A = this chain, B = another copy of it.
Amino acid sequence: MEPGTNPMEPDRVRAPNIRDVARLAGVSYQTVSRVLNDSPSIKDSTKQRVLDVIGEIGYRPNQAARALVTSKSRTIGVLSQQTAHYGPTTSITAIEGAAREAGYRLSITNVSSGDYVAIKAGIDYLLSQSIEALVVIAPQVRVFEILSELSISVPFVTLQATDLGVHSMSVDQVAGARLATRHLIDLGHTEIMHISGPQDWIEAEARMQGFLEEINNADLRTRAPILGDWSAHFGYYAGLELLRFRDFTAVFASNDQMALGFMHACRELGLSIPGDISIVGFDDIPEAAHFFPPLTTVRQNFPEIGRRAISLLLSELRGDSPLEQGQITPELVVRESTSAP
């Protein structure tokens, strides 16, 4: 029995390739390739024959081979956070959808800590997959330092407002914070606290800035904002601490979770909301409408950001059009956690 050609051999089934299709359809492999990329000059009858064979034998184009020869990976990298926040998650979902629709896939890397090495490794990892574009959702200041220092060769966009050139698509955080603060001021509050996010988060910084701007505009004073970690737990403990001195009548929390925790602390101390303390959150997570009381907050359209980020990248990839990057305006949602003091 000839060793190499043993017909009994189980013979690792190889996935059908373009030449198998060609042979069965009685055409050349190049014709098959043309059908796959629907090139214009191909006779309908031929095309149909090829498609039939493809369906019949279950042929799938090999992405790796295609990527190799075109040196296009059809992959968009996403640099994100380890923590599963509502906003990023929602945006990523939208990004994935938009990307897939355009024939791109995503490669997501979560960078856990904000330290230089981890972030650098994350970006490196993405680049080694020869991504064609990069979306950065890790909203930490340090990421942007690294990004600019690395002089990335692919188009990229951040979902945060930065001064890093044009590559940004974001909700205007400053405007949102001003909306929230203005709302409290308009109600008549003069002593307003701010519970901020972590110092190294761009969003946290921007919201704090918006808050301070509006406070200054109204000639009010405020205690130094305290820096939280976005969690409801933090909001709770911060509340217990802050409320030992009741020298304020309103709180602007930098996200809904911290607002929730803070309200928890209020209840525990027997304070009524908004009777004793008004509170505004940020994000408008779906649960916020069902907090006790339903939370006044600032709504960000996360899916929209994701979609626009991708369309911005895609247009840059196609080379066409001056990219219309920009900011999305957030919206104040007034519910029952705020009232006149």
Contacts and interface: CB of A to CB of B under 8 A. Distances in A.
A129 B263 CA distance: 48
Contacts of A109: 96, 100
B68 A232 contact: no
Interface in A42-78: 60-65, 67-68, 73
Contacts of A287: 232, 257, 260, 287
A199 interface: no
A128 interface: yes
Interface in A98-146: 100, 105-110, 112, 125, 127-130
Given A82-B97, A106-B108, A128-B63, A290 B68 contact: no
Nearest to A256: B287
B292 A292 contact: yes
Contacts of A67: 64
A243 interface: no
B60 A64 contact: no
A231 interface: yes
B60 A68 contact: no
Copies in the complex: 2
Nearest to A64: B67
A109 B100 CA distance: 8
B107 A105 contact: yes
B128 A110 contact: no
Nearest to A129: B63
A286 interface: yes
A255 to B, nearest CB: 11
Given A235-B290, A264-B290, 18 more contacts: A61-B128, A63-B129, A64-B65, A84-B86, A84-B90, A84-B93, A89-B89, A96-B108, A105-B129, A106-B108, A107-B107, A231-B286, A232-B289, A260-B290, A263-B290, A264-B291, A264-B294, A267-B292
6 contacts: A15-B130, A63-B73, A64-B64, A97-B110, A106-B107, A263-B290
